Amino acid sequence: QSLNKHRNHWQSQHLDSNVTMPKSEDEEGWKKFCLGERVYSGTDAVSDNENLGIDYIKMGFPPLLSIVSRMNQATVTSVLEYLISWFGEKKFTPELGRWLYALLACLEKPLLPEAHSLIRQLARRCSEVRVLEENKNEEQISALNLIICLVSRYFDQRDLADEPS
């Protein structure tokens, strides 16, 4: 609701010249845009002596309001689908978590059937990853819990909610 309230303001703001959003159907482009080439290509090494500022091409663009407010529901659903398919094969990263949260915040209710299916798939994948998380990384577990909670409670998918213990 807050996002919708401020959408007009953020849409009127100019994007930085280095921000070029991919077309809605460009799956690879969106994965690189959101996650950065470093995560996308699987090279976790931070390149040497690049302290001259943040290289968003390598690091991925954060889900700024000025970016996500320009996305219509079809684009939000498409990008969510791309990132969930990525997450189905790869590990959870902070960049992925930030984007998933932002895209969930942009989803408008009532959901389209495709979006319903996507968010259910996302919650199930988060549950799988949470169970498999051997070293119990608290930050990662918290992020996964938040996504599961949002899908189950806010989007009324109660069967996917954690049972209170």
* Within-domain flag for 34: yes
Residue 141 to residue 96: CA distance in whole angstroms:
14
* Within-domain flag for 22: yes
**pLDDT value of residue 161:** 86
Token reading at 1: 């609701």
Q: Using one digit for the tens of pLDDT, what is the confidence trace for 99-124?
A: 999 999 999 999 988 999 999 999 99
**pLDDT value of residue 46:** 52
* Within-domain flag for 165: no
Helix (H, G, I), strand (E, B), or coil: what is residue 160? helix
* Within-domain flag for 82: yes
**pLDDT value of residue 84:** 97
| Domain interval for residue 56 | 1-160
Flag whether the pTM goes above 0.75. yes
Q: Total structural domains in the chain?
A: 1
Q: Using one digit for the tens of pLDDT, what is the confidence trace for 4-53?
A: 777 888 877 788 888 899 999 999 999 999 999 989 888 755 554 445 56
Summary mean pLDDT of the chain: 88
**pLDDT value of residue 52:** 53
**pLDDT value of residue 101:** 97
What CATH number is given to the structural domain containing 58?
Answer: 1.20.58.1070
Helix (H, G, I), strand (E, B), or coil: what is residue 150? helix
Largest CA distance in the chain: 50
* Within-domain flag for 75: yes
**pLDDT value of residue 105:** 94
* Within-domain flag for 70: yes
